[in-house]
Structure 1
Amino acid sequence: TINWPIPHNRPINLPTYPFQHQRYWPALAAIRPVDAVSIGLGAAGHPLLGAAVELAGTDTHLFTSLLSLHSHPWLADHAVAGTVLLPGTGFLELALQAGHHV
């Protein structure tokens, strides 16, 4: 049991066996898309880019997104040795869209 300050100030039990399979991450059903504008970011206007923001005091822009099999099921078609990868054309599209936005 750990008693450091955590949300709601209650102790939590950690697994004592290293291979005790218990998930501590939220289920995919609990993950909801966030509206970028509602949290102060600009909408990127592209299905692969979620949000865009200009960093204060600089000429730098930051683009962010969540790419997963849950949000983009077509990624499953791009697996190499059982690992899903974003295809090279996806990286090119992200770079082109970021350049166009800037």
Structure 2
Amino acid sequence: MSVPALRRDRPEPETLWRALATAHLRGAAVDWHAVFAGSRVVPLPTYAFQRQRYWLEEAAAPTDVSSAGLDSAGHPLLGAAVVLSSGDEYVFTGRLSVASLPWLADHQVMDQVLLPGAACVELALRAGDEVGCDRVE
């Protein structure tokens, strides 16, 4: 099917474009070089990104917390311990991630990863050790 060069100022151009597209989809041979005079064919990838990643990889969590003015808690779940200015209060922090602690993914409920109760007790015990408490009640 050969079509003279199209101009957008003619009446009902959308209907004509739709008819050409429909004819092409149904197997008609459309001479697209005649339809788009002066254009050229540009190869497109068959897959949007050709399996190449364009995103930055997530940086590993920093393990040295001293650069932020914190003291290491010396525990795999607790990253840092901070004594507040009052002197009798503490703040403990850590990063729990399936990427850095893959065993966390073993405890799932309805496809959601949950922190196991034993890990919560371990966090409480370790924080208690830091402040002089030897048990959890």
TM-score normalized with structure 2 length: 0.52
Counterpart check, 1:37 vs 2:66: yes
Which whole-Å CA distance do the structure 2 matches of 1:32 and 1:96 have between them? Answer: 24
Pair 1:28–1:46, CA change in 2 (3 A)? farther
Following TM superposition, where does structure 1 have runs of at least 4 consecutive aligned residues deviating by more than 4 angstroms? none
**Aligned match of 2:108 in 76, 79, 98?**
79
What is the count of residue pairs matched by the alignment? 77
Q: Match of 1:93?
A: 122
Instruction: Check the 8 A contact 1:28/1:70 in 2, yes or no.
Output: no
Identity %: 55
Which whole-Å CA distance do the structure 2 matches of 1:28 and 1:68 have between them? Answer: 15
Q: Match of 1:61?
A: 90
Letter in 2 for 1:100: D
Deviation at 1:57, TM superposition (A): 2.0
| Higher relative contact order structure (alpha carbons within 8 Å, sequence separation ≥ 6) | 1
Structure of higher CA gyration radius = 2
TM-score normalized with structure 1 length: 0.69
Pair 1:100–1:28, CA change in 2 (3 A)? farther
State the Cα RMSD in Å: 1.7
Unaligned runs of 5+ in 2: 1-54, 132-137
Deviation at 1:29, TM superposition (A): 2.1
Deviation at 1:30, TM superposition (A): 2.7
